[in-house]
A and B are shown apart, each in its own frame.
Chain A
Amino acid sequence: MTTTDATLAHPAGRPHEGTATRTHAHATERSSGVPHGASTRIVVAYGFWIFLISDIILFAAFFASYAVLSDNTAGGPAGRDLFEVNTVALETACLLTSTLFCGLAGIGANARHGRLFYGAMAVTFVLGAAFVGIELHEFATLIERGAGPQRSAFLSAFFALIGCHGLHVTAGLLWLLTMMAQIYAKGYRDDILRRMLCFSLFWHTLDIVWVALFSLVYLVGVAK
């Protein structure tokens, strides 16, 4: 096929007006016929990957301000007076297990395995909601003890950083319910599965951010 194509496109020893146009037309036809470039799944997930990296940079900015201000307690309570290791351990367990079940839900969606998908998504939601609930309770306790965000620069930065992560998890919970509804209503379509891939990327990234937070904010705060 290739040799005949070439002979047709460049008729040897028979140059005439039409050659240039015909060659050009042939070239465009060929380049559009050849499967090139990335699939939509790769393009979508890569774009979302870039968003997640910019989100991590946002967290880094909050984290940098916390790192600068963490010693400026203005005579108020410091991290070791406030942080409860058991609460943080419970939050970490919830989020880590939820990220495992989110991965299982992704496997279930790709395999079009309804029971695995809905079951794992439900467990992910319950654990994520438990995480947000524990965090809200922790915030309420701190504010009750007079250690609200207005107490000191340390606490302002703390509430901003942890609160930003908590808001992300809350948004993720809403997205999770949306994905369950979309799979239920529209089935395992390619575009829905792409959204599911983006959701699981988001959820796993939130867990990675939480690893930095529980280690460097809570545990270092307790140890200091």
Chain B
Amino acid sequence: MSSSIRHDDAHPRDLAPGDESDAHDIAGAVRGYLVGFVLAAGLTAVSFYLAQTTLFWQPSIPIALSVMALAQMGVHLVFFLHLTSGPDNLNNALALAFGLLIVLLLVFGTLWIMSSLDHNMMPMDKAMQMQR
């Protein structure tokens, strides 16, 4: 019996992905979603404004939009999926971190390889000429 108590103390309880760590009342949970919704809507509005405005240096817009998208994904993860940095969320966060690594390798690896291939390939019109 004593060993089970020690076990619980040494390892904080895990949480299912999507569940909240403190089981509070309905009103508190609803408030959390509303805060997330307002933040996400605000970031969305700024993104749409950035895409249409001519006020800023245009080449910076895609980078600004990427940053806004990352911020909004963070808001969604924290307020809607209830992902925290707490020990009860360690497994969930680590699985997501690994997935993120694969996503980054996939996207940037593809862009790198394909641009390198494109750069080293003979231009299409020249290749056509040589075939004649």
Q: Is the CB of A53 within 8 A of B80?
A: no
Task: Scan residues 45-97 of chain A and give those whose CB is less than 8 A from a CB of chain B.
Answer: 45-46, 48-50, 53-54, 56-57, 60-61, 63-65, 67-68, 85, 89, 92, 96-97
A197 close to chain B: CB less than 8 A? yes
What separation, in Å, do the CA atoms of A92 and B47 have in the docked complex?
11
B1-42 to A contact mask, C-beta < 8 Å, 1/0: 111100100000011111100000010011001101100110
A-B pair number, CB within 8 angstroms:
148
A181 close to chain B: CB less than 8 A? no
What separation, in Å, do the CA atoms of A54 and B2 have in the docked complex?
40
Q: Is the CB of A220 within 8 A of B80?
A: no
B-chain residues with CB within 8 Å of residue A212 when the two chains form the complex = 69, 73
Q: Is the CB of B51 within 8 A of A223?
A: yes
Q: Is the CB of B102 within 8 A of A215?
A: no
Find the residue from B61, B80, B98 having the highest chain A CB count within 10 A.
Answer: B80
A145 close to chain B: CB less than 8 A? no
A-chain residues with CB within 8 Å of residue B77 when the two chains form the complex = 208
Task: Scan residues 169-224 of chain A and give those whose CB is less than 8 A from a CB of chain B.
Answer: 197, 200-201, 204-205, 207-208, 211-212, 214-216, 218-220, 222-224
B-chain residues with CB within 8 Å of residue A96 when the two chains form the complex = 37, 40-41, 44
What separation, in Å, do the CA atoms of A107 and B110 have in the docked complex?
40
> Knowing A50-B95, A220-B62 touch, does A57 contact B14 (C-beta < 8 A)?
no
Interface bracket on B: 35 or more
Closest B residue, CB atoms, query A63: B107
What separation, in Å, do the CA atoms of A206 and B47 have in the docked complex?
19
> Knowing A45-B18, A208-B73 touch, does A68 contact B48 (C-beta < 8 A)?
no
Among the stretches A13-21, A36-44, A129-137, A159-167, the one at the interface with B is A36-44
A-chain residues with CB within 8 Å of residue B15 when the two chains form the complex = 42
> Knowing A49-B17, A60-B103, A64-B107 touch, does A34 contact B4 (C-beta < 8 A)?
yes
Q: Is the CB of A103 within 8 A of B33?
A: yes
Q: Is the CB of A57 within 8 A of B37?
A: no
A-chain residues with CB within 8 Å of residue B80 when the two chains form the complex = 99, 103, 204, 207
What separation, in Å, do the CA atoms of A80 and B48 have in the docked complex?
14
How far, in Å, is B84 (CB) from chain A's closest CB?
Answer: 14
What separation, in Å, do the CA atoms of A132 and B77 have in the docked complex?
23
Closest B residue, CB atoms, query A36: B7
How far, in Å, is A1 (CB) from chain B's closest CB?
Answer: 6
What separation, in Å, do the CA atoms of A130 and B14 have in the docked complex?
37
Closest B residue, CB atoms, query A55: B99
What separation, in Å, do the CA atoms of A200 and B82 have in the docked complex?
12
A111 close to chain B: CB less than 8 A? yes
Q: Is the CB of A215 within 8 A of B66?
A: yes
Q: Is the CB of B47 within 8 A of A215?
A: yes
A7 close to chain B: CB less than 8 A? no
Chain B residues with a Cβ under 8 A of chain A = 1-4, 7, 14-19, 26, 29-30, 33-34, 36-37, 40-41, 44, 47-48, 50-52, 58, 61-62, 65-66, 68-69, 72-73, 76-77, 80-81, 91-92, 95-96, 98-99, 102-103, 106-107, 110-111, 114
